């Protein structure tokens, strides 16, 4: 099955109220409302697109080591996945799909990193839970997500729902703001130009890892 087919199958069970989540119809409708409002806000239009320059960044990995975009790009093209956190089942499924595709990225000389606002401890949990062999970087306060145009604030009614579900984002992220990045996938050429961009305000929709391969091949041709 494709990544999206897996996500759709999970969503069907999740929205049907099946264990272990046991969601009610009212909860699901609240989530749908928040997604619809984010889509209607036009926030995705403010996100960086193919042809834009990537903002430089330096973030910490799960062990506290500083990782800079300049050093990553010095090795070759860069694949970046922005995700919400280890608490998001859709994100975990995407991370596992990216792990499966990692050999294809590396064969094209690319480095893959994932970025989330969560703490290093929760990023380590992401690595363990999903058996990842690529770095997860902590974007404290969503500063890098803001530079990419991805950061948004959760509406109060969704905050209330998350609190009722014990989904405490300030605790996960070490940040009181109740903000998240829209899930996004980027391919960056070695000159810092964005060659591929896929941003979706509907967190249940994710591109296939293989969708980035043409952009990575173009990056190699350009570099040559």
- Annotated catalytic residues are 91
List of residues 6+ apart from 116 with CB closer than 8 A: 82, 83, 84, 85, 86, 91, 122, 123, 126, 136, 137, 138, 139, 181
Task: Say whether the peptide bond before residue 190 is cis (omega within 30 degrees of 0).
Answer: no
Helices (H), strands (E): how many in the chain? 9, 9
Please give the C-alpha separations between residue 98 and each of 34, 40, 179, in angstroms, as whole numbers: 27, 29, 24
The closest alpha carbon to 38, from 150, 130, 187, 170, belongs to 150
The closest alpha carbon to 38, from 212, 173, 205, belongs to 205
């Amino acid at each position: 099955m494709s990544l999206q087919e897996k996500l759709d199958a999970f969503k069907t069970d999740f929205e049907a109220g099946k264990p272990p989540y046991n969601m009610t119809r009212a909860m699901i409708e609240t989530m749908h409302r928040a997604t619809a409002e984010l889509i209607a806000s036009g926030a995705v239009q403010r996100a960086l697109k193919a042809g834009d320059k990537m903002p430089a960044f330096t973030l910490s990995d799960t062990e506290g080591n500083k990782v800079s975009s300049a050093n990553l790009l010095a090795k070759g093209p860069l694949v970046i996945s922005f995700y919400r956190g280890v608490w998001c089942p859709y994100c975990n499924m995407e991370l596992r799909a990216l792990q499966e595709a990692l050999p294809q990225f590396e064969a094209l000389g690319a480095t893959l990193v994932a970025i989330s606002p969560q703490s290093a401890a929760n990023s380590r949990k992401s690595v363990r839970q999903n058996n990842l062999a690529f770095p997860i970087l902590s974007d404290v306060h969503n500063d890098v997500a803001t530079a990419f145009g991805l950061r948004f604030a959760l509406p109060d009614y969704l905050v209330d729902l998350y609190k009722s579900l014990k989904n405490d984002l300030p605790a996960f992220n070490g940040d009181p703001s109740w903000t998240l990045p829209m899930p996004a996938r980027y391919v960056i050429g070695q000159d810092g130009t964005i060659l591929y961009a896929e941003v979706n305000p509907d967190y249940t929709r994710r591109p296939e890892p293989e969708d980035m391969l043409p952009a990575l091949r173009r990056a190699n041709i350009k570099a040559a």
